[in-house]
Amino acid sequence: MSVLDFFTNPVGISTMLGWILGQLIKMPVEYLRHKRWDWTLLLSAGGMPSSHSSLMTATTTSIGLNVGWGSPIFALAVAVTSIIVYDATGVRRQAGFHAERINQIARELLKLKKLEENDASYLREVIGHTPGEAAAGVLFGALIALAMQWVMVWS
């Protein structure tokens, strides 16, 4: 067994593709929605689709396909995936709403001269996902795992 085994098994490959493709697809989606290229999306959280949801669903689906839907490791993967999707649409999304309000307060304080420009540092506002972004990530991840399984069976 070596570290390279991760890169040659369908679960490992599905995991990597779930994250990489989930991040990469954000750029064309952003372009279609807002007619601008945003290269920061390659390494940032938030956006469409949720790459966390894509990564974990690709992993979980691949485990189900390769190890079995009734295996304890599949049950664990479902539990972890559920927590991550819940966190993306709940806790992290709420943190983004809080950042929006804090930034709004900072801008108002700057206008009122109650805060100096060099003292104002703004928080990142998009760190979570809408339910639609998470659902798109889940669907994308499942499709990646199914495609990977198809490739493994037919090659």
> Could you tell me where the beta strands, DSSP code E, fall in the chain?
none
Judge whether 142 lies within some domain. yes
Distance set, CA 108 to CA 5, 118, 133 (Å): 54, 15, 31
- Among 100-109, 130-139, 141-150, the range of highest mean pLDDT: 141-150
Residue 88 has pLDDT above 90, yes or no: no
Peptide bond into 49 cis (omega under 30): yes
Contact between 140 and 22 (Cβ < 8 Å):
yes
Give a yes or no: residue 52 inside a domain: yes
Q: Is residue 102 part of a domain?
A: no
Question: Which whole number is the average pLDDT over 26-51?
Answer: 79
Give the gyration radius of the chain's Cα atoms. Answer: 19
Calpha distance 140→16 (Å, rounded): 13
> Range with the lowest mean pLDDT among 17-26, 58-67, 88-97, 142-151?
88-97
Q: Name the residue type at position 149.
A: Q
Could you list the residue range(s) of the whole structural domain that residue 53 is in?
3-90+128-154
Measured between alpha carbons, how far is residue 25 from residues 33, 90, 110, 120, 137 in Å? 12, 23, 37, 33, 10
State the average pLDDT for the chain.
84
**Number of structural domains, the chain?**
1
Rounded CA separation 137/99 (Å): 24
**Is 100 inside any structural domain?**
no
User: 41: buried, middle or exposed (CB in 10 Å: 19+, 13-18, 0-12)?
Assistant: buried
Return the H-helix or E-strand segment holding 30: helix 26-34
pLDDT band at 38 (very low <50, low <70, confident <90, very high): confident
